[in-house]
Structure 1
Amino acid sequence: MEQYDVVVVGAGGAGLRAAIEAREQGARVAVICKSLFGKAHTVMAEGGIAASMGNVNSGDSWQVHFRDTMRGGKFLNHPRMAELHAKEAPERVWELETWGALFDRTADGRISQRNFGGHEYPRLAHVGDRTGLELIRTLQQKVVALQQADHRESGDYESGLKIFQEYTVTRIVKDGGKVAGVFGYARESGEFFALAAPAVVLATGGIGKSFKVTSNSWEYTGDGHALALLAGARLLNMEFIQFHPTGMVWPPSVKGILVTESVRGDGGVLRNSEGRRFMFDHVPDVFRAQYAESEAEADRWYADPDHNRRPPELLPRDEVARAINAEVKAGRGTEHGGVHLDVSSRLPAEEIIRRLPSMHHQFRELADVDITREPMEVGPTCHYVMGGVEVDPDTAASPAVPGLYAAGEVAGGMHGANRLGGNSLSDLLVFGRRAGLHAARYAAAQTEPPQPAAEQLDAARAEAVAPFGDGTEHPYALHQELQQTMNDLVGIIRRAGEMKQAQDRLAVLRRRAEQVGIEGHRQFNPGWHLALDLRNMLLVSECVAKAALLRRESRGGHTREDWPAMDRDWRRSNLVCALVDGSIEVVRQPLPRLRADLLALFDRTELAKYFTPEELADEQS
């Protein structure tokens, strides 16, 4: 069994940044990626990286970024995570530039920054609408540079940073109560592998493939969430699912594919089937002072970005998604069940092609729509899970499992009830670095190499081959039923009766999944891969459904038709999921208090919408 100091599961932005940091700390690192190296879902992130560099508006600062993040998360964010993120994001962007990232520039040569929903100032450093691709390219090249440095130093082809591409981890193995390594299989050959390591960093991304309509790629089957649960860690905030307001809705073959928020950030407007710009009708009271109330006022903002009332299309994503959903339900949707997003009336054709090259290509090739002359047809799509592994904000370590770390979308707490656009890429960099740093330090402090228990490895191997028995259930049919259940019963608008029904269906699906039968052998067998992924998706979906039923309010990415208002009593509570004797249990856990200096960044009138007077007095003390 190969021995490493740190194993990183996932090779997106968080995983690669963690691996780079751990290697620079002297750790021997293995990176395991489910797809080909460089093909992680991070490449699909288009709009930019949120960081308060102040290159376009000098009024920006980490305090303003922190404030916007807390507002977007409806004050359910872990305040320490939001603080660290806002403070460290600029440094992480400048670091990328020194590593070779080619950002778009302002007229005076600085990194350009664009507007995005929920951000008070232009804050997103960008590379056209292909920012995620540039981020992965840069980090991948940095990994290669580290490997080359190892080769030069050792004089052979050995490196302290090894990539395992097209491998899947099915279990975290332990030595006593501590992490001892991972077990999994090579997707091409079906051969099993095990790596021993005292520290494991989960950077596996999200859970979107549990939903029928999603912008997520095929890898997003909740692997890291489930691996953490099975290892004894806890998940928090799993009820909060972000439905990105703008995914493609036509043709059916591309339904759910993301339409970047950059379109709205660069001036795109939303109109219903009547041609009316409807977002003015859907501005919540808590945001009314910050957003325009008429087209004339919105046009003033486009002409003068220092004007303090932004167009309502730049509301946080949860607000825009609910507004689109309301228009469609009211019968004012388009022919295919969406709304129109028009940027052609705001920008000339050559500017659209320069700023939004991927969107221009995507709609022309997939929908036969020229966005320089025609509106796009868009609607909400499952995009991001705010919930994830409970971690310490400073170290990204699980408090329940020594040696386990998590960063990026698989980690919970940073985004609260709703993530602002652009915060995901800076989240990957800030906490990916912290996870790699502290995983390496933890590994260096261990006096004995871990010894994965033989019985755990045997059990993991037996679990992996179990689908090759005499089962009668088909994995693809079960997956379709799971996606339909989550889409219909635990989607954008939730009701108690439907979520109870979802839990009943999920319980039946878990029992049926134990009877999955796979033909053939382990080589080149996607049916087997899906059968193993079903365990993860069903576990995580149960967390979402149970937490969503228990949280009796509407907040951020969680909307209850039967509890339509935010309840200040719920602001101080996270819902935490754990796996106990094979079943998901959900309990309330107090949210950390906001420090007085951070609380002072907000207006008392705004705070009164989230805090009772007694809570405010308590927090300020």
Structure 2
Amino acid sequence: MEFERHAYDVVVVGAGGAGLRAAIAAHEDGARTAVVCKSLLGKAHTVMAEGGIAAAMGNAYPEDDWRVHFRDTMRGGKMLNHWRMAQLHAQEAPDRVRELEDWGALFDRTPDGLISQRDFGGHRYARLAHVGDRTGLELIRTLQQRTVALGVDVFMECTVTRVLTDAEGVTGAFGYWRESGRFVAWEAPSVVLATGGIGKAYKVTSNSWEYTGDGHSLALQAGAGLVNMEFVQFHPTGMVWPPSVRGILVTESVRGDGGVLRNSAGNRFMFDYIPDFFRKETAETEDEADRWYEDKKNNRRPPELLPRDEVARAINSEVKAGRGSPHGGVFLDIASRRPAEYVRRRLPSMYHQFKELADVDITAEAMEVGPTCHYVMGGVEVDPDTAAARVPGLFAAGEVAGGMHGSNRLGGNSLSDLLVFGRRAGTAAAEHARKRAGLVALVEESLADAARAALAPFEREGGENPYAVQAELQQTMHDLVGIIRTAAEVEQALARIAALRERVAALSVEGHRQYNPGWHLALDLPHLLLVSECIARAALEREESRGGHTRDDFPAPDPEWGRTNLVCTRTADGGVGVTRQPLPQMPPELAEVFEEQP
């Protein structure tokens, strides 16, 4: 069988923020670098990160620094974060933002001409550098322009189906062109996974079609471990009406700029859901919360800006109690809080999104919103300093990597995360490639096996329909492994996943390899199924509630579990095993940060 073949030092899988930043770093370190992406360059899901990039630059509040950002990140993750990742992230994020500005990013400015920074949930100070509510788009535009200017090779509309390895580690990757179906192989001693998340495993999600858990699954099958997979973030505010747009993200910037959440009775219900952990820093009356916007230094934050897991659970509780909006959400109101001109200037994308998709003028009426599967905190277990997985030559950065966010990610930390660790992954991948130069080669048998697996759905007649199987998987995860979980429900989900595994093994598609979306989905489904099993098995194992994981049968956090990570690995029979692992110990000098007064 013929294959298109290429040889590089570093192959980056994914062209979102993490992938492009990794490719830039690897290229600047002298590595022959290629980027492979499922869609067109510039169409990555990073553009949906609208609110801003979290970085303690001190432009809005001089007293903000990396120590405060580090503390906020750890507390937001309920202390289950890898302390070293959170430390590096907080320390290096400001330089990565300034770097973007040097490369041409056009940030909003303060009256003094500094980069403007806005408020977001869980952050003590306003620290999100932003471009209106289109920050992710500006980030991708800037990185894309630099990638092209440097001459990095980009393989667009091309999907990687397997990371190739030998006894010494990574040897390359195998995939296919989505347009023609022709196979392509890359020989490379270093592969950086930057494939994003797993949202298409769920029925209601803010994620785009690319987020099928490819990187998580590829890493697991190559021998890496996945950490924190039970923690799935449901963004509190996605669109709920009309059905065609259900799940599309409504940026946290709406709440950061003054929007409030109300139930069907018109009450600001978030005052009833302030957890003890955040009570000292959160306003407990409406007057106190409203004063915060006028005098942010001396007043406690409004409860709408609690971390996302807290807000999502509160909305879920209001809807279950019968106090939801007509279409199963709650109301997000900025119309009564801010002048129309202010809303259109600060939130242009949200204004047009609701006007065009829901015929709602957010300057005149409230939005209907509800939780939507948005982000997975879990991912490839990596070394904090190098982003290296346990498989030599394999690296991961961005949402596909685990550990940085613990049990819950703060808004804005995703963009700074992918910049900080994308750069570190690219630099480390280039260094590894230098050490392995001339020592890797593609094995014909491995290529032939990968090709046979990809073509298998064409060999079957009358088998399972990929779209029907995906719909059942999404419904299973939505119903049984969603915001609120119980042991009985998760066990039921695992039984359904086991049945779906047999059906995935019997998928069949018709037609040819050219322009065949059914075939593409048939190749994505094993990834989705494997990742879903990881989430469910870890959710069943963790008998407590923490961050993005809420067990109705274990409603409180458990101190013992607060010192324990769960790592998923591939078993010999192709299933998923879960092992407990002690949380890395934070050094005393960092622990002192939590004793300082806010």
In 1: Cα distance, 2:443 partner to 2:570 partner: 21
**Gap change, CA 1:113 and 1:604, over 3 Å in 2:** closer
Residues 226-262 of structure 1: CA deviation (Å, up to 9, x unaligned)? 0001100000000000000000000000000000000
Partner of 1:445: 435
1:200 aligns with 2:191: yes
* 1:558 equivalenced with 2:562 (yes/no): no
The normalised TM-score by structure 1 is 0.95
The answer for the alignment partner of 1:248 in structure 2 is 239
SS in 2 for 1:383: strand
Counting only pairs closer than 5 Å after superposition, residues 270-349 of structure 1 correspond to structure 2 as: 270-349=261-340
1:344–1:374 contact (8 Å) kept in structure 2: yes
Opposite residue 588 of structure 2, the aligned amino acid is: A
Asked if 1:424 corresponds to 2:428, the answer is no
Q: In the alignment, what sits opposite 1:118?
A: 122
Structure 1 counterpart of 2:518: 527
Displacement after TM superposition at 1:449 (Å): 3.7
User: In 2, are the aligned partners of 1:300 and 1:307 still within 8 Å (CA)?
Assistant: no
Q: Which residue number corresponds to residue 598 of structure 1?
A: 590
How far, CA to CA, are the matches of 2:360 and 2:437 in structure 1? 62
Structure 1 position 95 matched with structure 2 position 99? yes
Deviations 1:50-69 (A, max 9, x none): 00001011110000000000
Q: Give the 3-state SS of the residue equivalent to 2:236 in structure 1.
A: strand
Give the 3-state SS of the residue equivalent to 2:171 in structure 1: strand
- Please give the secondary structure, in 2, of the residue aligned with 1:65: helix
What residue is the counterpart of 1:188 in the other structure?
179
Total equivalences in the alignment: 592
Shift of 1:44: 0.9
Say which of 240, 250, 262 aligns to 1:259. 250
Letter paired with 1:298: A
- What residue is the counterpart of 1:577 in the other structure? 568
- Deviation track 1:388-433 (CA, whole Å, cap 9, x = no partner) reads 00000000001x2000000000000000000000000000000000
What amino acid is the match of 2:233?
Q
Find the aligned partners of 1:16 and 1:302 in 2 and give their Cα distance.
36
Distance 2:444 2:408 in 1: 42
Question: Among 25, 28, 33, which residue is 1:29 paired with?
Answer: 33
Contact persistence 2:545–2:557 (CA under 8 A): yes
Q: Deviations over 1:553-605 (max 9, x none)?
A: 00000000000000000011110000011110001011100110111111399
CA distance in 2, matches of 1:594, 1:375: 44
Given that 1:174 and 1:453 are in contact with CA atoms closer than 8 Å, whether structure 2 keeps it comes out as no
- The DSSP-based 3-state class of the residue aligned with 1:380 is strand
| Residue deviations 1:151-199 (CA, integer Å, cap 9, x gap) | xxxxxxxxxx210000000000113231000000000000000000000
Q: Indicate yes or no: 2:42 matched with 1:52.
A: no
Which residue identity lines up with residue 142 of structure 2 in the other structure?
A: T
1:111-143: per-residue Cα shift (whole Å, max 9, x none)? 000000000000000000000000000001111
CA offsets, 1:71-124, max 9 Å, x none? 000000000000000000000000000000000000110000000000000000
Kept in 1, the 8 Å contact 2:288–2:299? The answer is: no
The match for 1:85 is 89
Instruction: Please state how far the C-alpha of 1:447 moved relative to its aligned partner.
Output: 4.2
Distance apart, 1:510 and its partner CA: 0.6
Query: Gaps spanning 5+ residues in structure 2: where?
Result: none
- Is the 2:261–2:331 Cα contact (8 Å) retained in structure 1? yes
Distance in 1, Cα, partners of 2:345 & 2:437: 55
Aligned equivalents of 2:398, 2:194: Cα separation in 1: 6
Alignment of 1:437-516 (within 5 A): 437-471=427-461, 472-516=463-507
- Identity fraction in percent: 71
Partner SS state of residue 600, structure 1: helix
Residue pair 1:197, 1:449 contacting (<8 A) in 2 also? no
SS in 1 for 2:197: coil
Q: Secondary structure at the match of 1:601?
A: helix
Task: Find the counterpart in structure 2 of residue 392 from structure 1.
Answer: 383
Structure 1 distance, partners of 2:138, 2:597, is 41
After superposition, the C-alpha distances for 1:475-517 in whole angstroms (9 at most, x for unaligned) are 0000000000000000000010000000000000011111111
The answer on whether the counterparts of 2:180 and 2:514 sit within 8 Å (CA) in structure 1 is: yes
- Partners in 2 of 1:448 and 1:166 — Cα distance? 29
State the SS of the aligned residue for 2:180.
Answer: coil
1:619 corresponds to: none
Cα distance in 1 for partners of 2:26, 2:597 equals 44
Report the TM-score when normalising by structure 2.
0.98
Contact kept? 1:175, 1:452, Cα under 8 Å: no
Partner of 2:78: 74
Matched, 1:109 2:113: yes
Three-state SS of the structure 2 residue aligned to 1:602 is helix
How big is the shift at 1:344?
Answer: 1.2
Cα distance in 1 between the residues matched to 2:568 and 2:442: 26
Map Cα deviations across residues 188-236 of structure 1 (whole Å, 9 max, x no partner). 0000000000000000000000000000000000000000011000000
1:453 to partner: Cα distance = 2.1
Q: Deviations over 1:498-554 (max 9, x none)?
A: 000000000000111111110001000000000000000000000000000000000
Work out the CA distance in 1 between the residues paired with 2:401 and 2:577.
19
Contact kept in structure 2, 1:53 and 1:60, CA below 8 Å: yes
Partner of 2:186: helix, strand, or coil? strand
Residue pair 2:107, 2:115 contacting (<8 A) in 1 also? yes
The Cα shift of 1:290 comes to 0.5
What's the secondary structure of 1:273's corresponding residue?
Answer: coil
Q: How many angstroms does 1:448 deviate by? A: 2.2
Flag the 1:433–1:605 CA change in 2: closer, same or farther, 3 A: closer
Q: What is the SS of the residue equivalent to 2:540?
A: helix
Q: CA deviation at 1:23?
A: 0.3
Of residues 134, 137, 140, the one that matches 1:136 is 140
Match of 1:588 in 2: 580
**Does 2:405 match 1:401?**
no
Q: Indicate the residue corresponding to 1:614 in structure 2.
A: none
The Cα of 1:438 is off from its aligned counterpart by: 0.5
In the alignment, the residues of structure 1 paired with residue 597 and residue 545 of structure 2 have an alpha-carbon distance, to the nearest angstrom, of 20
Give yes or no for contact 1:10–1:31 (8 Å, CA) kept in 2. Answer: yes
Structure 1 Cα separation of the partners of residues 8 and 459 of structure 2 = 34
1:578–1:369 distance in 2 versus 1, CA, 3 Å: same
Amino acid corresponding to residue 114 of structure 2 in structure 1? R
